[in-house]
Amino acid sequence: MKIEEKIVGAVEAAIKELYGQQVPASMVQLQETRAEFEGQLTLVVFPFLKMSRKKPEDTAREIGEYLVGKVPEVVSRFNVIKGFLNLTINPAQWIDLLQEIRQDQQFGFVPVTEESPLVMIEYSSPNTNKPLHLGHVRNNLLGWALANVMQANGNRVVKTNIVNDRGIHICKSMLAWLKWGNGETPESSGKKGDHLIGDYYVAFDKHYREEVARLVAQGMDEEQAKQEAPLIREAHEMLVKWEQGDPEVRALWKRMNEWVYAGFDQTYKALGVAFDKIYYESETYLEGKEKVEEGLQKGLFYRREDGSVWADLRPEGLDEKLLLRSDGTSVYMTQDIGTAKLRFQDYPIDKMIYVVGNEQNYHFQVLSILLDKLGFRWGRDLVHFSYGMVELPNGKMKSREGTVVDADDLIATMISDARQMSADKVNKLEDITDEEAQEIARIVGMGALKYFILKVDARKNMLFNPEESIDFNGNTGPFIQYTYARIRSILRKAAEQGIEVPDSLPAAAEISDREISLVQHLYGFKAAVRQAGQDYNPSQIANYCYELVKEYNQFYHDFSVLREEDADKKLFRLALSAAVSQVVKNGMGLLGIEVPERM
């Protein structure tokens, strides 16, 4: 039985014996004791004052005396601060708790069964006209971490991606390649396929703006010029041909998309993310059009004189939403409806989570209503995991102008910087090969990138500072990784000395307040995982790991481990260190961050 459960049961018994009242366990409010007071757990007494009919201090004192008298093996002493009863827990309880944590390699995680709720999480959602950029990096890392957190909370999870592989933006790259590509391929150019196609997207925009400027100089209104420029008209014509199934256009589209997918796969692998199922807009938009037509027949939507189809959401406090253009072509909302239909056919979804930036808040507000109207049982309760934008210190990204912060460049830079930053530490390791040093640099560089992004509440805009992220001090990935590696080094040295930590620790081992605090921090991992799942907030795991490591480093500074002469104390501290490394590894694993055994 957990410490809290024992205390709750004892408090219930105390209230019944002292005041003749039965109280539910939910009324017994326990919290961690504030640092400035003695004790580890604090009981809030105020809910019991109507039963005791006494002052808060007197009520707390009576309950405290009962606990020390009746369950001394749990509560060794107490002190009262106004209406708060601070309890000092018997050290043997913390030793038992540490053993429980050590014995459960999945401590803090809820087991997943076949009956567990099925949660589908969509993230990434790239366009096939350009490579992944810094914004995609945040999206992918958040999606992957959220999927891990939801699974750790006992859900079956399906990770999905919807690739925007059709539309005017794709036609722009295709048209530019036809006009100026001279048959260039990833093989002939030595470029990743997604980078190659992205170059032609930028080239299209460059020539298009030049055309618009010429038309404006000739006296045309700018908005009209944007519509009448020859390039954009050609791109629209190509889109129509694509939707009509033109063989040449479709063949080119398929070829160029394959180049892009090969490039995406390399980036996903470097980021350490993957998907259980990938959907493609080219395969979902027709399904969406069917569902819209179905809604039209049921009177859920209406058709205007120009042939366009709309949803009137004014009764819901919103506006009218376009679902099909007058020429019959679909919009993003249509595609999302079609994707929802296919997903619901493929999986018995209980909850759907979309990881998409906050500029799409309104879109998902509308989508939720439309899916609910169309009969998707999870539509009304879909979750839009809305996150803020990420920028570098030198400003925003503008992909059409070719100034995008490329994901591949960012990854390579982080690993290179990690190699330079950790050179002194790694070079001190004995028998380290260049290959091992490079692997450590990869783990540290990617850990720095992932942690810096994931430690920030996703709802906030953030500034990603590469130099700050790779610091070995402070709230950074490398700081946590270095502490993990330090612990693993201690445990290896203990093994070399023939010291084996037994499964059962001596119950009478003398442990300090700081060691108790560290065990308490370890136990808090369970609550951190649960809260992160309830709030859809991976940053809570990141900051939990930082606080745990910070607490361990203070312990390591204050106490000897291997040099401790008392055998029982040494074993306890080794067991404590091993448990910290286990929880840190699991916690960072939820974020998709590896931890090196040596560093």
Q: What is the pLDDT of residues 108-164, one digit of tens each?
A: 999 999 999 999 999 999 999 989 999 999 999 999 999 999 999 999 999 999 999
Residue in the block written with tokens 């809030």:
44
Instruction: Please report the beta strands in 294-446, taking only residues with DSSP state E, as ranges in sequence order.
Output: 302-303, 309-312, 320-324, 351-357, 383-387, 390-391
Token representation of residue 276: 């259980």
Whole-number Cα distances in Å, 220 to 207, 208, 211, 225, 228: 18, 15, 11, 6, 9
The answer to whether position 578 is within a domain reads yes
The answer on 168 and 81 residing in a single domain is: no
The alpha carbons of the chain give a radius of gyration, in whole angstroms, of 30
Length of the chain in terms of residues written: 599
pLDDT tens-digit readout, 176-214: 999 999 999 999 999 999 999 999 999 999 999 999 999
Helices vs. strands in the chain: H and E counts, helices first: 22, 14
Q: Which residues make Cβ contacts (< 8 Å) with residue 215, sequence separation at least 6? A: 224, 225, 228, 229
Per-residue buried b or exposed e for 35-52, using 16+ beta carbons within 10 Å of the residue's own CB: eeeebbbbbbbeebeebb
pLDDT tens, position by position, 274-307:
999 999 999 998 899 999 999 999 999 999 999 9
Determine the Cα–Cα distance for residues 164 and 282; give it in Å rounded to an integer: 8
The C-alpha atoms of residue 577 and residue 596 are separated, in whole angstroms, by 16
> Does residue 170 sit in the same domain as residue 36?
no
Res 399 pLDDT > 50: no
- pLDDT, mean of residues 431-451: 92
Looking at the structure, tell me whether residues 169 and 76 fall in a common domain. no
The enclosing domain of 23 has a CATH number of: 3.30.1360.70
pLDDT of residue 398: 44
Question: Please, what is the Cα angle at 256 between 252 and 262, to 5 degrees?
Answer: 150
Tally of CB atoms within 10 A around 393: 10
Based on the structure, what is the number of domains in the chain?
Answer: 3
Residues 495 and 579 in one domain: yes
Please report which helix (H) or strand (E) contains residue 159, including its range: strand 156-163
pLDDT at 422 exceeding the cut of 90: no
Phi and psi dihedrals of 154, rounded to 5?
Answer: 90, 20
Note whether residue 149 is domain-resident. Answer: no
Band (pLDDT 50/70/90 cuts) for residue 502 is confident
pLDDT (0 to 100) of residue 425: 66
Percent of the chain's residues with pLDDT above 90 = 84
User: Is residue 41 situated within a structural domain?
Assistant: yes
Q: Contact, 45 vs 85, CB < 8 A? A: yes
Same domain, 471 and 585: yes
Q: What SS3 state is found at 214?
A: helix
Identify whether residues 572 and 481 lie together within a single domain: yes
476's tokens: 């950074």
Where is the domain boundary, 257, 273, 289? 273
User: Which pLDDT score, from 0 to 100, does residue 1 have?
Assistant: 55
Looking at 66, 89, 112, which one is the last position of a domain?
89
Residue 578 · residue 97 · CB < 8 Å: no
Lowest average pLDDT, out of 458-472, 516-530, 543-557, goes to 458-472
First-last CA distance in the chain: 38
Domain shared by 461 and 569, yes or no: yes
Q: 401: pLDDT confidence band, cut at 50, 70 and 90?
A: very low
pLDDT score for 427: 58
Alpha carbons 2 and 405: distance in angstroms, whole number: 49
Query: Residue 397's pLDDT band (boundaries 50, 70, 90)?
Result: very low
Question: Residue 394 has what pLDDT?
Answer: 67
pLDDT band at 529 (very low <50, low <70, confident <90, very high): very high
Asked if residue 190 is part of any domain, the answer here is yes
- Provide long-range contacts, Cβ within 8 A and 24+ apart, for 247-255: 249/174, 252/174, 252/177, 252/178, 253/165, 253/166, 253/170, 253/174
Tens digits of residue pLDDT in 316-337: 999 999 999 898 878 889 999 9
Instruction: Tell me the backbone φ, ψ of residue 81, rounded to 5 degrees.
Output: -125, 100
Residues 6+ apart with CB under 8 A from 269: none
Q: Are residues 83 and 214 in the same domain?
A: no
Amino acid at 287: E
Q: 67 CB contacts (<8 Å, ≥6 apart)?
A: 7, 10, 11, 14, 74, 75, 78, 87
- Separation CA 193–CA 129 (nearest Å): 10
Residue type, position 450, single letter: K
Residue 400 has pLDDT above 60, yes or no: no
Q: Which domain holds residue 506?
A: 422-432+457-590
Cβ atoms of 521 and 551 closer than 8 Å: yes
53 and 201 part of one domain = no
Q: 75: which strand partners?
A: 89
Question: How confident is the model over 63-121, as pLDDT tens digits?
Answer: 999 999 999 999 999 999 988 999 999 999 999 999 999 999 999 999 999 999 999 99
Residues 427 and 553 both lie in one domain: yes
Among the candidates 273, 304, 331, a domain finishes at: 273
Q: Using the predicted structure, report yes or no on whether residue 273 has a pLDDT greater than 80.
A: yes
Angle at CA of residue 290, ends 286 and 293, nearest 5°: 135
- Compute the average pLDDT of residues 206-231: 95
Sign of the C-alpha dihedral, residues 560, 565, 568, 574?
positive
Give the chain's mean pLDDT: 93
- pLDDT of the residue at 586: 98
Predicted local distance difference test score (pLDDT) of residue 403: 56
Query: SS3 for 240?
Result: helix
- Provide the token pair at 89: 């827990």
Q: What is the pLDDT of residue 428?
A: 66
pLDDT of residue 396: 47
Mention every residue, 6+ apart, whose C-beta is less than 8 A from residue 550.
none
pLDDT-wise least confident of 125-129, 251-255, 395-399 = 395-399
Whether 475 is in a domain gets the answer yes
Range 567-587 average pLDDT: 96
Reported for 494-503, long-range contacts at CB under 8 A and 24+ positions apart, including other chains, are 494/562, 494/574, 497/562, 499/562, 499/570, 499/571, 499/574, 501/571, 501/574, 501/575, 501/578, 502/571, 503/99, 503/102, 503/103
547 and 426 fall within a common domain: yes
Distance CA 560, CA 494 (A): 13
Same domain, 561 and 427: yes
Residue 533 forms part of a structural domain:
yes
Task: State how far the Cα of 87 lies from the Cα of 392, in Å rounded to an integer.
Answer: 48
Q: What is the pLDDT of residue 402?
A: 46
| Cα 538 to Cα 561: distance, rounded to the nearest angstrom | 32
The answer to whether position 204 is within a domain reads: yes
Residue 210 falls inside a structural domain: yes
Compute the distance between CA of residue 582 and CA of residue 576 in angstroms, rounded to an integer.
10
CATH of the domain at 559: 1.10.730.10
